[in-house]
Amino acid sequence: MSTSYYPHPVIAREGWPFITGAFVTALLVQYLADWQWALPFWLIALFILQFFRDPSRVIPDLAGAVLAPADGRIVAVDQVRDPFLSREALKISVFMNIFNVHSNRSPVDGEIRNKWYFPGSFLNASLPKASLENERNALWIRADGGQDVICVQIAGLVAKRIVCHARSGEHLARGQRFGFIRFGSRVDVYLPLGTKVNVRIGDKVRATETVLAEFH
């Protein structure tokens, strides 16, 4: 096993402006009023700090492994029509609540063949229709073994910003961080039929460390 590399450990860089603003506001309220008035602002600042945590993770050394792209709970394991590559596929969905780590990481080693962004609604991300109706960003990754994998970041009820740093033509390593979704969300993974699925609905998973599935 190896530890994934990320140049901004512990706290995600997407959170720095929010964390700074929250702590400055709390300090100002405490300075201008007193600690009782400032207490709610300190609690908000601490919540924002924990939301943007981004710990390093250990990458399983298992050939053909498809890793969880996000922390959370499995809400779907289905055979569906892949809306991006027009094929029958297995879909595994990970729902993130506001207390999960929201850093998104590549499920496989592979090259990004394409990238799509779709504006949309902000329905509860645990609902099945969120996959097709919510704001979302999709990556088509051609795994080093030749398998086509779709990884979709989906905004949730209060998530208002999907961040994706990956670009078409870039090669991602398993567990490599490629994006972030602010304040509640979901990630769908579409895999070729015949892939061995290792999780089921209700399972809790950890980004990079949990093996969702295995290619034969």
Residue positions annotated with a catalytic role: 185
Q: Which amino acid is at 133?
A: E
CB-based contacts of 179: which residues, under 8 Å, 6+ apart?
A: 103, 104, 137, 153, 162, 163, 164, 165, 166
Structure tokens, 85: 């590559």
Q: Which amino acid is at 172?
A: L
Count Cα neighbours of 17 within 13 Å in the Cβ-side half-sphere: 2
Q: Radius of gyration (Cα) for the chain, nearest Å?
A: 18
Q: Please state the φ and ψ torsions of residue 20, each to the nearest 5 degrees.
A: -60, -45
User: For tokens 């300190």, what's the residue?
Assistant: 42
For residue 104, which of 15, 208, 177 has the smallest C-alpha distance? 177
Helices (H) and strands (E) in the chain, counts: 3, 18
| Distance from C-alpha of 192 to C-alpha of 35, rounded to nearest angstrom | 56
Contact 198, 90 (CB under 8 A): no
